[in-house]
Amino acid sequence: MTPSHYFAYGSNMDPARVVDRRIRFTQISSAVLAGYVLRFNKRSRDQKGAGHANIVVELGSCVEGVLYQLESPNEIEKMDVFEHVPTNYTREVVSVETQTDKLLVWTYLANPEVVLSGLKPPCWYLAHLLSGRAYLSDSYVEMLESVECVA
């Protein structure tokens, strides 16, 4: 079975950004990925010293995100271009929980070669994550708002 959903935890939590990227979807909802934690440890391609979103295995943690129901399963291939697969990220299947179900979905994990600790997201980039606030819990939005960013 090929997943027909995409779980976004980074800048693609901004529905307008996904629309601009011409990824066709039919529905947006909330989802939670258990056993992972959000980090900003993927080196930015454009801004030295800045980090973009990545998820890292961490038992007992969870990552909230925006779940896009894709118009067709192969729609995800368009996102590969923006995520620079396979150089920066790999596309993986993970299991997320929605309010009603568990689903196997696509998401992206940063390649170890582009990961570096101690990075902070650019403020403009963090704003994209916060654009998904309608699909996130209040506590998760507060956590994102508390992330230190760089100009």
By CB neighbour count within 10 A (0-12 exposed, 13-18 middle, 19+ buried), where does 20 fall?
exposed
Q: What is the DSSP letter of 13?
A: G
Q: What's residue 70's pLDDT?
A: 98
Higher pLDDT, 49 or 55: 55
Per-residue pLDDT, 109:
98
Spatial CA neighbour of 30 closest among 69, 61, 60, 77: 69
pLDDT tens string 52-79? 999 999 999 999 999 999 999 999 999 9
Residue 1 has pLDDT above 90, yes or no: no
Nearest CA to 33 out of 11, 14, 6 is that of 6
pLDDT-derived band at 30 (thresholds 50, 70, 90) equals very high
Q: What domains, with CATH codes, occur in the chain?
A: 5-143 (3.10.490.10)
Q: Model confidence at 99, in pLDDT bands (50, 70, 90)? A: very high
Inter-residue contact 127 to 58 (CB < 8 Å): no
| Better-predicted residue by pLDDT, 62 or 45 | 62
Across 81-108, average pLDDT:
97
Kindly report the pTM of this predicted structure.
Answer: 0.96
Give pLDDT tens digits for 109-150: 999 999 999 999 999 999 999 999 999 999 999 999 999 999
Across the chain, what does the average pLDDT equal?
Answer: 97
